[in-house]
Amino acid sequence: MDVESKINIIKSFAEEIVTEAELKGLFESNDHPVAYDGFEPSGIAPIHFGLLRARNVKRMLSAGIKVKLYLADYFAFINNKLEGDLEKIRKAGQYFVEVWGACGIDPKKVEIIWAKDLMDDLEYWDRFMKVGKGTTLDRIKRATTIMGRKEGESLSAAQLFYPAMQVTDIFQMDIDICQLGMDQRRANILAREVSDKYEWKKPVAAHHPLVLGLQGLPPEAVANKELHMEYKMSKSSPKSAVYMHDSKEEIKSKVNSAYCPEKIVEGNPLFNYLELILLDDLSKPITIERPKKFGGDLQAENYWSLVDAYKAGKLHPMDLKSYVAELLEQKIKPVREHFDKNSHARELYESVKGFKITR
């Protein structure tokens, strides 16, 4: 695969690449650069954890990228997830691995790393101290939004370590591409700043868009990227999320209750799901089935044509909801079946389902 094709694969899911010129240089000099994505094990997996991450990982693997999936157990502990109980957090991490497998990520093709193992090395803490010394407390405080906290929120002393730890991870794992959500941007930019100070390898950052919660974005938040984090789908907020274990009936009920005003695409979570998760190729034709009395089936040349049709009032919200619910069921059903058939996976799910969700 040529360099331009590899860049286009990253651009197919990234809202922002910092920087595209550096990514081009990386692909020109390295056939198999290393990318990572990291997660706090902290509850039942929603669709952005299972479906979005699986899609992005598969695309990176197709470009010859080596992918590391990082289970940030000590980060979840610091951030008071699952009551700060490390045993529960690590059980949730094992469950996450099962979800990845059920979503089609071959564990033999990725490297799964636990924070507890990465941190069991004096070199890690040497790097951590250098990261801390290479920035300011004010800069660290601004970056604490990466852990789902508002800027200025009261934090424990340990939570102030979080941004520097995340930056340290990048260098300790020798990462070339930080493939994370836009909500993690401040940590990745901080890593790039620190790399300049110490002349360490500077990582490229490929930030994918955030998956919206079912409540969508209010009009006043659409143009404000900083506000998007407040409306993203969260596994700790059941009303905002579709989970990887939801039944067909639950999916339909949740989608039917989702924010979906007529003719409005911006801030509409259903179009967000179609673009980021449900449609593997946005350029392919789309058929939405409808009764003849409502105009019969709607044919769209591609995703963008569907957007235009909705904006023009040619597609009713309920028909869009039926279409999205059916696609979600198709994607989630294999995961439900995996956990139904595999006793080990089912035991992990039942354990995590019983944990108290905290933040």
CATH classification at residue 64: 3.40.50.620
Torsion, CA 107, CA 240, CA 242, CA 166, rounded to 10 = 0
* Spatial distance between the Cα atoms of 77 and 84, rounded to a whole number of angstroms: 5
Domain match, 238 and 120 both:
no
Let me know if residue 359 belongs to a domain. Answer: no
Q: Is residue 181 part of a domain?
A: yes
Q: Map tokens 């969508």 to a residue.
A: 216
CA 207/CA 87 separation, integer angstroms: 31
Q: Give the pLDDT mean for 320-338.
A: 97
- The domain of 248 spans 219-353
201 with 246, same domain? no
pTM of the model: 0.92
Q: Please tell me the predicted confidence (pLDDT) of residue 267.
A: 94
- Band of pLDDT at residue 241, cut at 50, 70 and 90: very high
Single out the residue in 208, 237, 260 at which a domain terminates: 208
Residue 168 sits in the same domain as residue 251: no
Residues above pLDDT 90, as percent of the chain: 86
287 cis-preceded (ω within 30 degrees of 0) = no
